[in-house]
Chain A
């Protein structure tokens, strides 16, 4: 049995370097870059997209989908490389991004989950230390139960929680992540005390599903796509999704939390940020590239294939959204007593 999956996969670019001996070349590139690029054309060299987490996760798929579309549709002339820096729920990657201050070629995928992780780790670096470019995708959170569960609707779950918080075990991704936050938000909206919540965190989607099917967890919470095939197979029942807008899950229109009378619009969004200290000009140029990427058919196909909703905001709109999310997560952490 392994320890919670740590960093098996970290910096794939560097591995490529070892295998392909481009190490020195890459190092030279990096040294020549930093800071000087602000007035030049973007991109003037390889664009690095950092994934501050392991390969195989949501951020990783996002970055790799971007890479694929940019290269397939020739959005930029320079190559795009994706590499993983795992650690501290993204804090390690974010710290590393600081080294490339002012360089528009150093991009990073991030999202809601990182806000919580930074909060939790009392990280010295924060979202302020990035230049937000655009929010890209969002994914609704799904509340599911095993098909033989006594809970028929999300109201049943809330009612049981109100009667005895210890009688309902929630389970999903690691503690303090978006999965636990959405439960906290639900209880808050229902007028119950979120700090009483019994939540079991799992290190990966697979383990969480196993926990729900085995009966350790009464109500599972995670991204819709994690549960889709289980719902389709009839092993799990979908109670509600967390976004205001409904979507089709396993061939049926899903109930939203708002349908059930809880005023919640929660989604696990992902965004692209650049290194801090970008000039307005550089920021605009990067945004233009992302704009073009967003407009391609390839990107639409990628969204479809991964079950992501299009959630595109740029410029001040993106900045404001991220700021408001940071505040919201901080408040939820307070409520959870974390």
Chain B
């Protein structure tokens, strides 16, 4: 049984929520499996994109409640989030990658880089980007 794997880049932010929401809908449509990635390079002291254990549990509970088959993975201090997402998509032979995006200033993008941009440019499979 080869069900589609949908990789979701998730952060405890409105963008992350938008991505999960879209991914759940997509999973329902094609009867896919969700692989949720929450990642941080671990380079800074504080990263608000990292989910706390409660937030991870809440997400799992919610996905279970919605009857979506899922796996939620948190990966800290290995690669950049974009690489983590691409890596997961590659490994699992994902059919789709879902990302949440937001409007960013050019300066902000220059300074901090953009995870979405890297994933979009480098992904081997289709990428669905959802605006929060």
- Check whether chain A touches chain B (CB < 8 angstroms): no
Footprint of A on B, CB under 8 Å?
Answer: none
